Amino acid sequence: MQKRTLGNNGFEVSAIGLGCMGLSYGYGPATDKKQAVELIRSAVDSGVTFFDTAEAYGPFVNEELLGEALAPVRDKVVIATKFGFAGGEVSHGMDSRPVHIREVAEAALKRLRTDHIDLLYQHRVDPNVPIEDVAGAVKQLIAEGKVGHFGLSEAGAQTIRKAHTVQPVAALQSEYSLWWREPEKEILPTLEELGIGFVPFSPLGKGFLTGAISETTTFASDDFRNIVPRFSPEARKANQTLVEVLGAIATAKQATPAQIALAWLLAQKPWIVPIPGTTKLHRLQENIGAASIVLSADDLIDIETAMSGITVQGDRYPAHLQARVGR
């Protein structure tokens, strides 16, 4: 697995990471713990060094899972986790008060079975706490050796700039993929200017870009996609054109649609590190395989041309969640 650097401080991670949320939260019933541990360790064996979690995934159980799975190889991996929700519950709203940030970090260290968090993100911008105070709180944790690097998630360009003046931001984590390209307008130029890495979550469109989801697919009752407008049956039907185009490109490259979607992200900037999530070993290996696919300039032009005529249908978030992003 190739390595990439996030930020300007030599923070090196594998070119593709593993988003671990779906093992415990968000996409239906949690994966059996033994199987989840096996999947995480298989990722390590395949060269993945970058693992993403959060206190809110469960809450808490996802961090505990990573702590157990990665304990034997802790010195060989990079763990990213997040603070920002009251009591670790997304439904309880934001809480990025400095005292709370410290409480979350201390608790996360125990759950992760480690003495340091490599990358600590603010999960969502808290409108009630100045971002300078947030950055200052993480800066103090970094000075104490409890945190290695500071990150933001779904933050807007001005917030990123303000935070960066207090404590250098190593990485921004936000959604970015062939079916959500909003970051290209303002976020990517800002990150490039400031020397900040980008960690796209949902790089496979929450599974849609794999081609495994159709208008007739049903999701578990507690699957987040049930409330996402882009995953209504009507939107899924309309958006199949995107998957068909991706599939044709993948066939020509002797790859899968998921691999092309990930390879496209990797080709955008050398400081982009996607974190696809999965609960299946064969999908894990498929995703990792994307790191070895090289898209030529002509390939990228062909993809751009093919995609330019497609308008993706449906909002990526329901209104109440969309209000939390881009601040």
The whole-chain average pLDDT of the chain stands at: 97
SS3 12: strand
The CATH code of the domain that includes 283 is 3.20.20.100
154 near 324, Cβ under 8 Å?
yes
How many domains in the chain?
1
Distances (CA, A) of 157 to 132, 188, 314: 14, 9, 24
- Domain membership flag for residue 49: yes
Is the residue at 264 inside a domain? yes
Write the pLDDT tens digit of every residue in 118-132: 999 999 999 999 999
Measured CA to CA, the distance from residue 106 to residue 273 in angstroms comes to 27
pLDDT at 21: 98
Q: DSSP secondary structure string, 168-237?
A: -EEEEEEE-BTTB-GGGTTHHHHHHHHT-EEEEESTTGGGGGGT---TT----TTBGGGG-GGGSHHHHH
- 55 belongs to a structural domain: yes
Residue 84 structure tokens: 């920002």
4 SS3 class: strand
Catalytic residues: 57
Q: What is the rounded (10 degree) CA torsion for 247, 2, 201, 210?
A: 20
The answer to whether residue 327 is domain-embedded is: no
Task: List the domain range (segments joined by +) for residue 20.
Answer: 3-322
pTM, two decimal places = 0.97
Q: Does a structural domain hold residue 103? A: yes
Is 92 inside a domain boundary?
yes
- Per residue in 152-205, pLDDT (tens digit) is 999 999 999 999 999 999 999 999 999 999 999 999 999 999 999 999 999 999
Write out pLDDT tens, residues 228-263.
Answer: 999 999 999 999 999 999 999 999 999 999 999 999
Q: Is residue 213 part of a domain?
A: yes
Residue keyed to tokens 């360790």 = 41
